[in-house]
Structure 1
Amino acid sequence: MLFKDLSLTLKRGEVKAVVGASGSGKSTLFELVLGNLKPLDGTLTASRASEVFQDPYTSFHPFYSIINQIKDVASLDGLERYLDEMKLEYSLLLKRPHELSGGQLQRCSIVRALLMKPELLLLDEPTSALDNVIQLDVMKLLIKHLDKTAMLLITHELDLARWCADEIIEIGV
């Protein structure tokens, strides 16, 4: 059993980080919170959530433009501002996922997640596809939006967790 007697509560403005090595159960926790997996025992209640996965290529359909995939799940209200903050051109949204770099696609994934106006933003290694300078900019941007959401960050980078999280949950150690 990966988790026993785990209790986790997040409120708007909070960042909690789940840190552990590969295979420790971080992504399983993520899937439980999303409702993609069911707990063997107990209850799980999650607010309106959006997610940013580690691999952006698996979170977009390969044959549809990015903008159509964003429109499918979110209002475009605030799109220009998020694109500007993420240093993305609108023209990139007219392309299909394989036409973008991993970093560009990951930033599109973050834009999509923010446009969904979640109460809970689930971040599974959200900056692993980005170079170090962009990583810092993206994390600062995400933290800037804490007035609207809570964040659960899953990472193996303890330094990142220490930098941004109100609480760190270490698993599998």
Structure 2
Amino acid sequence: MSSYRFAVLWLKAFRESAEKVCALYADDFLFEDLILDQSITDKAELHRVFAPYANADRTNGIGINCFRIDEYIGDSRSGIIRWTWEPDGAAAFLGVPTGGKPFSTSGQTFHVYDPDGRIRRESTYWDAVAPLAAIGLPLSVHGGVAGPPALAAAASSG
């Protein structure tokens, strides 16, 4: 299977079920989400983290998770998937109420594949600032530092 086709399969699996996503990982794997400071090597924990992405109920506040592949760079051994995520109808983002405002974010995921084509290592990095700004969290850019006003002021005075 080509690597781009695997990336499509991987993102589609998120909308289907956590079981389908977890089946794409090798038995011995490392999953890292650098923004959330997550490092997971246990499939049961990975399943728990991925379960909300397959939500199909528009009324429960989780949102319907739409992923799009923007670019794939790599081969059958490793690759980077640049993606966009939009959770239609999410009531909160990182614990911050959305007030019904739509938001999306982009990120990139680096995969290393085992000889059977399963994910052996994953490292994901994504933009948390854009969604927070879209839902109305007061963010400012001051002195080149983006973040809550108190953080920006502290960074520029130091």
How would you bin the TM-score normalised by the shorter chain?
A: under 0.3
Kindly indicate which of the two structures has a greater share of residues assigned to helix.
Answer: 1
Between structure 1 and structure 2, the one with the greater Rg is 2
**Greater strand fraction, Structure 1 or Structure 2:** 2
Higher relative contact order (CA 8 A, sep 6+): 1
TM-score between both structures, scaled by the size of structure 2: 0.27
